[in-house]
Each structure stands twice: as structure tokens, then as C-alpha cells.
Chains A and B, each alone.
Chain A
Amino acid sequence: MKTVDLNTSTVRELNQALHDQAKQCDEREWLVTHPAGTHALACGLDQNISVDIEGHAGYYCAGMNQKATVTVHGNAGQGLAENMMSGVVRVTGDASQSAGATGHGGLLVVEGNASARCGISMKGIDIVVKGSVGHMSAFMGQAGRLVVCGDAGDALGDSLYEVRIYVKGEVASLGADCIEKEMREEHIAELSELLQKAAIDEDPKTFRRYGSARQLYHFKVDNASAY
């Protein structure tokens, strides 16, 4: 295990070290201490390594992650794991706005709550939130799955494309073109697998499913109020 102490090293040194060893990949376990809410920690990783951040992370932690497993033992700032491609990002505390934004793949697990716009424009990522999510979550979500074990704020799934959303608690309101859909066997199976991968103990049968009504897929006079 290699330890990088951000009291004595800079974020630039940390990220460069993580990027530089990518080819040989001789050091697979990294520990980052004293992060103190710094931004852009462990972003742009593209190897099968694990990075444990002992404390709070700032904006864009694990941004554009590929293959790596990044765990924040604390809270994470805006844009956690934004545009993630693959791998696993986990935060043991809460995540600020736009967690998992535009992610194309991989798994993001938030053990606390996630703020507004969680999963905004998501493109294939799976996001599992043990707590609740803020307003406009999964806004314009294109692909992937968002699982919320707590409640969801206003305008959930606004202008949704093909993301499937599972919520256990209350949904304050649904956004334009987002509707509740039937929870069929295949959805229970899919959700059960996601919860298992995220290591979150919940009964998939207690969730409701939401998705796109696909009414905004074409410009139509009838939809004028939604434009």
C-alpha cells in the first residue's frame, strides 16, 4: 500500500503519481490522507487500482474514472465521479450536487444522501444512494439506473430519456415526461442485483419504478407547454 499525505504533497503530485504508474500498475492500493476537501482528487484514473481517501473530498473527486475503485471515507463535493466510464466509486458520507453527472458506466454508491441533480444527464452509469436525493435528479438521464433507498426531491427524472429509476421512499414530484411504471419481475431482479453490488441491504420489492413516458421524443404541438 502506498500512502500519499496531502499535508505534504499536492493534488498535482498525487494525480501525476496515480497516472504515471498506470502502465506498469505495480502499486494497486493507494491511501490518501488529509484530503481536507481538496478538489479533483484521484480524477482521470484508468487502471484497476484502489484509492482510499481518508476524509472529505472537494469537487469532481474520481472524475472520469475508468476501472479504478475509489472510496471516500467522508463526504464528497460537487460532481463526484462525474462522467465516470467504469469502476466503482463509493462515498461513506453525503455527496453534493450532480453526483455521477453524465457518467457512462461503472457503479457509484452514496451511503449517505446525495444533493440536487444526482445522476444528471447520466449515460449508462448505475447510481445507488442509501439515503435521499435532491431535486432534479436524473434530469435528462439517457441510460443507466438510479436507485434511491430514501426519498427523492422535486422534478425527479425531468425530461428523461431511457434511465430506469427505483425509489423506495416518497417522491416529492415527478418532472416533465417522467411517470411511474409497473415493477415487473425483471425489474425486481435487476434492482436486487444492483443493491447486492452496492452492498446495501434493502428489499427490492418495496421500491417503485419510474421511467420516461417518451412523449417528448418528438416535437409536437401538443407538447408546447413543455418546451
Chain B
Amino acid sequence: MSDIDVKPGQRESATFDRNTIHEIQRAATTGIYDIRGFGAKRKLPNFDDLLFLGASMSRYPLEGYREKCATDVTLGDRFASKPLHLQTPITIAGMSFGALSANAKEALGRGASEVGTSTTTGDGGMTPEERDQSRHLVYQYLPSRYGMNPDDLRKADAIEVVLGQGAKPGGGGMLLGQKITERVAGMRTLPVGIDQRSACRHPDWTGPDDLAIKIEELREITDWEKPIYIKIGASRTYYDVKLAVKAGADVIVLDGMQGGTAATQEVFIEHVGIPTLAAIPQAVQALQEMDMHRKVQLIVSGGIRNGADVAKAMALGADAVAIGTAALVALGCNDPKWDADYRKLGTAAGFYDDYHEGRDPAGISTQDPALSSRLDPVAAGHRLANYLRVLTMEAQTLARACGKSHLQHLEPEDLVALNVEAAAMARVPLAGTGWIPGQGTY
């Protein structure tokens, strides 16, 4: 974490840097792969590599504060009789009770409801705390089907069929024994204290044709009321989005490789999937080719941190975004006030990613009653609401500067890229040029 002890002349290898050497030593000692939470930590082309072209002569901007820049979004009006109408397009991503404490889940619900957006259950079922505090609750339908039941399905405001996550496309979930308390075990029908791995494929369907029938069943059970989302980890996004639309999705949730996780092998987090930036244009192209852009809504997640990220994702064609890691940080994850406790765990505030160990000093990714009581769900919910308001206002600021009266009016033409990689992935021109690599335009 610091270079203080290293004398000049002591040259660190770029190939075998300290982290690499440490990992070899760790693997040799334990004989098991490294598991951790958080998302990819390597540097990736991302939203910071894009810039907005503010309005000047050829376009005129909107007046901050005075001229309206709307932020609401409707999700799921393709087939569902009760689509969601949210006040801000920034939603809370699915995070399981089990990975997170009941207090954390409640806080997410409170924060989201305060600003009129939705929150999402996770791989562990729906808790009453979360349902009670969430105005719009999306119920995940995962391969594990832990706690899945028709009563909760009917209580949900939308159903999200999870095929994958950006942190681990092609992987199942895991929750280690430390976190399988009696309540968590009961909700998942598992023995207390075991290391649990959840399936990576759904148990009762395989390909997209089966999925279409599965979606029909879910709609029949809920009388065609609920929007049905399909969540995919970004990999072969162009094809996956086309298949998801064909299978009957109302909404597609696209999670890029930066997306957070509660517990996954490090090798999986860092080496599988494509960056969010590269995935969005593929998804939008697929939707446009099917004449489904804006008809099947696109929610993008994976590394969204501020209002600029929100605005850029929307300019590239997303209808809404979802946040996981940032929401946890807003609640209090990695808060410096717990630094002494983080240090006892061999880490520091700002670095903590061992969500799977269940010893989170901030009381968020834990099932330990003493630790989770550190998180006040009301105060943490307010912090999240504040943060969501800031993201919304930041996105509005940028949209107004581009002359847009609705966040959804942002468009790729408002963007340029700072480097060739980002230009090629996001399919916007390199700043100061008309060049989009790979598009044959100059």
C-alpha cells in the first residue's frame, strides 16, 4: 500500500509485481483460489474515457435550475400490465440477503424509496424488511431459486430472471459458512454454517427457446401484471440481447465486467466478461436492429459511480442504470471511521473487499448481529437517498449543458472519446476528430 520502505534502485517487476508475488505465495500456502467481493480492480476503459460536448453555437443549452430536465423512466411496458414508473433512472442492483445484512437491505429499500426508485432482492429470497421499505421492489429469479415462492412473486413489482452477472458471467454464486446463520440457512433451506455454492445454470430450462416458455409461465402465475427483466453479464452482448428480446423480456439488465459481487474467485472477477463501455453499444445495436430500442428498456450496471457515468451510459442508449458497490459505499462500506477495525483485518478503509468473510466492520456485508447493529438502516437509507439525489442532479447538469430537457434525450452524438480504445468500444469519435475506429468513418 505504500512505497516508503522501498529504496531507489530496487526495481519492481512489471510482470511479477508485489500483488502477483503475494498471490503466488498465498496460493502455495493455502492450495485454494482467492475468493473476494467487490468488482474488477484492474484498470479498464471506462466512462472516464468519454467527454460530453456541451452546447455552444450549433446547439443551445438549458438553464440550470430554471428549465426542466426530466428524469423519470417507465420500465416494462412491453407486455406487463403494471410497468414501473420511477422518478430517477438510477436503480439499486440485486444484492442478496445473506451477502448483506438485513439492516443493509432495509437501508437500501429506504434510500431507494425516498427518491422514488427501485431496489432489487438477490440470491437469497425476499426479506420482509426489504419488502416493507421498498416502494418498487424487483424480485430476482435465480438459478438457485433460494427462497423462491409464489407469494413473494405476487408481492413483487417486477421479476428479474438472472442469467448472469458482469463480475462472473458463466459462474454461480457462493456464500461461505461464516455467513450462513440460522436465518440465512432457513431462507435458503440449507444446513447452518456450510460453504454454499449456488448453481450457474437454471434447473428447469437451458436455451433461449426454453426461456421464452419459462417467461410465459412466470407471466401466467402473476397474471401478466409484472414486468419481466432479464439480467445478463456482459460477454456476447449483441447476441444475448437479441435472444433476450426474442424470449420475451420487458427489460434487459446488462451488467459489465466491473460489476460488483459478494464473493467470487478473483481469477473470475478479473478475467471474464467485457467492460461496461464495450457492452452498451452492442446491446443498443441489437435493440435498434429489432426495432426494440426504448420499447424493451435497457438498464446498465457495472462501475457506475457518479452522475457523469449515469449520463454517459444514458447517452450511449441506456434507459436506466443500476448501482451496487456505490450504493454500499453510500451506506457506509469502507468508511474511514472504521479504519482501526479494517486494519485489524489486515486491510484499510478504501481497500476492504472480503465481503465473503462476513466480518465487515461497517455492518453491511455481514450476518454477525453485533456488527450489523452498527448500521442504522434509517440513517444509512438517508445517506443513500442523498447520494442518489446527487447522481441525479449531476446527470441533469450534464444533460442541460447538452441542451436536453430529459435525461433520455442524451445521445451518442453528445459524446467524444479521449483515447482510441474507448472510441472503438463506445463507438463515438476520438475527441477532435470524426474518427470512430472500426466504423470506417473519418
Q: A residues 145-183 with Cβ under 8 Å of B?
A: 161-162
Which of A48-56, A75-83, A126-134, A190-198 lies at the interface? A75-83
The reply to whether A16 and B203 contact each other, CB–CB distance below 8 Å, is no
Contact of B204 among A102, A123, A161 (CB under 8 A): A102
The reply to whether A218 and B195 contact each other, CB–CB distance below 8 Å, is yes
The 0/1 profile, CB within 8 Å of A marked 1, for residues 189-225 of chain B is 1110011000100011100001001101100111110
Q: What separation, in Å, do the CA atoms of A117 and B201 have in the docked complex?
A: 13
A208 within 8 A of B: no
Q: What separation, in Å, do the CA atoms of A143 and B303 have in the docked complex?
A: 38
Residues of B within 8 A of A121 (CB): 144-145, 199, 203
Q: B residues 147-174 with Cβ under 8 Å of A?
A: 148-151, 153
Give the dominant DSSP class at B's interface: loop
B14 within 8 A of A: no
B32 within 8 A of A: yes
A59-B213, A60-B213 known; A101+B223 contact, CB < 8 A: no
Nearest to B216 among chain A residues (CB) is: A40
Nearest to A120 among chain B residues (CB) is: B203
Q: What separation, in Å, do the CA atoms of A104 and B189 have in the docked complex?
A: 9
The reply to whether B220 and A102 contact each other, CB–CB distance below 8 Å, is no
The reply to whether B220 and A43 contact each other, CB–CB distance below 8 Å, is yes
Q: What's the minimum C-beta distance from A78 to chain B, rounded to whole angstroms? A: 6
The reply to whether A82 and B199 contact each other, CB–CB distance below 8 Å, is no
A44 within 8 A of B: yes
The reply to whether B189 and A78 contact each other, CB–CB distance below 8 Å, is no
Q: What separation, in Å, do the CA atoms of A121 and B70 have in the docked complex?
A: 45
The reply to whether B149 and A102 contact each other, CB–CB distance below 8 Å, is no
B31 within 8 A of A: yes
B83 within 8 A of A: no
| Range, interface on chain B | 20 to 34
The reply to whether A217 and B191 contact each other, CB–CB distance below 8 Å, is yes
The reply to whether B203 and A219 contact each other, CB–CB distance below 8 Å, is no
Q: What separation, in Å, do the CA atoms of A221 and B213 have in the docked complex?
A: 41
B176 within 8 A of A: yes
Residues of B within 8 A of A123 (CB): 145, 189
The reply to whether B216 and A117 contact each other, CB–CB distance below 8 Å, is no
Q: What separation, in Å, do the CA atoms of A143 and B187 have in the docked complex?
A: 13
The reply to whether B189 and A64 contact each other, CB–CB distance below 8 Å, is no
Q: B residues 15-30 with Cβ under 8 Å of A?
A: 30
Residues of A within 8 A of B412 (CB): none
Residues of A within 8 A of B199 (CB): 121, 140
Q: What separation, in Å, do the CA atoms of A11 and B220 have in the docked complex?
A: 8
B437 within 8 A of A: no
The 0/1 profile, CB within 8 Å of B marked 1, for residues 95-128 of chain A is 0011001101000000000000100110110000
Residues of B within 8 A of A16 (CB): 223
A19-B223, A40-B216, A102-B145 known; A218+B203 contact, CB < 8 A: no
Residues of A within 8 A of B221 (CB): 15, 40, 43-44, 63-64
The reply to whether A218 and B194 contact each other, CB–CB distance below 8 Å, is yes
A5 within 8 A of B: no
Residues of A within 8 A of B177 (CB): 217-218
The reply to whether B216 and A120 contact each other, CB–CB distance below 8 Å, is no
Q: What's the minimum C-beta distance from A142 to chain B, rounded to whole angstroms? A: 5
Nearest to A119 among chain B residues (CB) is: B203
The reply to whether A217 and B195 contact each other, CB–CB distance below 8 Å, is yes
Residues of A within 8 A of B214 (CB): 59-60, 79
Q: Interface centre among A19, A64, A162, by most B CB within 10 Å?
A: A64
A12-B224, A39-B213, A43-B220 known; A219+B195 contact, CB < 8 A: yes
Contact of B222 among A44, A82, A120 (CB under 8 A): A44
Nearest to A42 among chain B residues (CB) is: B220
Q: Interface centre among B151, B195, B220, B224, by most A CB within 10 Å?
A: B220
Nearest to A44 among chain B residues (CB) is: B221
The reply to whether B32 and A44 contact each other, CB–CB distance below 8 Å, is no
Nearest to B198 among chain A residues (CB) is: A140
Q: What's the minimum C-beta distance from B282 to chain A, rounded to whole angstroms? A: 30
Q: What's the minimum C-beta distance from A159 to chain B, rounded to whole angstroms? A: 8
A121-B145, A219-B176 known; A79+B150 contact, CB < 8 A: no
Q: What separation, in Å, do the CA atoms of A131 and B150 have in the docked complex?
A: 30
The reply to whether A85 and B150 contact each other, CB–CB distance below 8 Å, is yes
The reply to whether B149 and A64 contact each other, CB–CB distance below 8 Å, is yes
Chain B contacts to A: CB under 8 angstroms: 30-32, 144-145, 148-151, 153, 176-177, 188-191, 194-195, 199, 203-205, 210, 213-214, 216-217, 220-224
**Can you give 14 A-B contacts (C-beta < 8 A)?**
A39-B216, A40-B213, A44-B222, A59-B214, A64-B149, A66-B150, A82-B203, A83-B150, A97-B204, A142-B188, A161-B190, A161-B194, A217-B195, A221-B30
Closest 8 A/B residue pairs (Cβ): A44-B221, A79-B204, A221-B31, A98-B204, A102-B145, A60-B217, A64-B150, A217-B194
Chain A contacts to B: CB under 8 angstroms: 11-12, 15-16, 19, 39-40, 43-44, 46, 58-60, 63-64, 66, 78-79, 82-83, 85, 97-98, 101-102, 104, 117, 120-121, 123-124, 139-140, 142-143, 161-162, 217-219, 221, 224
